[in-house]
Amino acid sequence: MENQLPLLSAEEQRVLGTLLEKSKTTPDYYPMTVNALAAGCNQKTSRRPVSDYDESTIVSTINSLKAQGLVNTAVGGGSRVLKYKHNFSVRFTLSDAEEAILCLLLLRGPQTPGELNTNSGRLHEFTSLESVLETLNGLMQAEPPFVKALPKQPGQKEGRYAHLLGESELPEDDIPVAEAIRPNVAELEARVSALEKELAELKEKLQGLL
């Protein structure tokens, strides 16, 4: 294994994750064109958050990943259209199970072992929840570690795990309740203030009519 992990942007995580996923789930359409990659990155299922990357974003992201040795241009075949494949398996020696976990974390963000077990079907068939935990432990104990355990949030039965290939965007339900409701409280306060001002103006007009 390499001694240092790349720190990927959100776009780089999505493109790399999509290449990892499609190499397993749709091998007949892999390597991938820019158009296919854009569709894969922006699909409405199995993605969190859902993205809307245009082709120029995909191209610039591919170039960035190529510079890091994580993506290669595919050569050969009769098509003149450029296609791309990931180079992750060359850079890092991981098992199919470990690669599947990383792929899911790149595409869906932090997840519990139960969620990873449920979502992994097309990438790797885990025999049990224990085998998912064993794989996560292996990724955490690697040098360098690929995965970390996140602090358990109040009310959560299972802790979530996140990859260490860059910052993971936490889903909305991970935001503390106080932070989640703060914008609504501020909005309500503004509305109340506006109503009070309107009421005061109406009172003044009524007094003028009497």
Distance CA 73, CA 77 (A): 12
Give the mean pLDDT of 98-122: 97
171: confidence class by pLDDT, cuts 50, 70, 90: low
Percent of the chain with pLDDT over 90: 70
Mean pLDDT of all residues belonging to the chain: 87
pLDDT band at 182 (very low <50, low <70, confident <90, very high): very low
- In this predicted structure, which of 16-30, 88-102, 177-191 has the lowest mean pLDDT? 177-191
Q: What pLDDT is attached to residue 185?
A: 56
Is residue 176 over pLDDT 70? Answer: no
Give CB contacts under 8 A, 24+ apart, made by 39-45: 41/14, 41/15
Exposed, middle or buried by CB within 10 Å (0-12, 13-18, 19+), for 106?
A: buried
Identify which of 144, 5, 160, 9 has the alpha carbon closest to the alpha carbon of residue 88. Answer: 5
The secondary structure of residue 74, as a DSSP letter, is E
| Per-residue pLDDT reduced to its tens digit, 60-88 | 999 999 999 999 999 766 667 899 999 99
Domain coordinates in residue numbering, the chain: 10-163, 175-209
pLDDT mean over 199-204: 73
User: CA 93 to CA 135: how far, in whole Å?
Assistant: 14
| Close Cβ partners of 89 (under 8 Å, ≥ 6 residues apart) | 99
Q: What would the CATH number be for the domain defined by 10-163?
A: 1.10.10.10
Q: What is the pLDDT of residue 154?
A: 84
What is the DSSP track for 86-133?
E-HHHHS---HHHHHHHHHHHHH-SB-HHHHHHHTTTT---SSHHHHH
User: Confidence band (pLDDT; 50, 70, 90) for 197?
Assistant: confident
Q: Of 41, 21, 7, 42, which Cα lies nearest the Cα of 85?
A: 21
Shortest CA distance to 97 belongs to which of 147, 164, 165? Answer: 147
pLDDT-derived band of residue 155, with 50, 70 and 90 as boundaries? Answer: confident
Peptide bond before residue 145 is cis, with ω within 30 degrees of 0? no
Using DSSP bridges, classify how beta strands 83-86 and 147-149 pair: parallel, antiparallel or unpaired.
unpaired
Tens of pLDDT, residue by residue over 34-59, are: 999 999 999 999 999 999 999 999 99
Sequence letter at residue 176: P
What pLDDT does residue 207 have? 72
Q: What angle do CA 57, 58, 63 make, to 5 degrees?
A: 100
DSSP 9: -
For residues 177-202, average pLDDT: 61
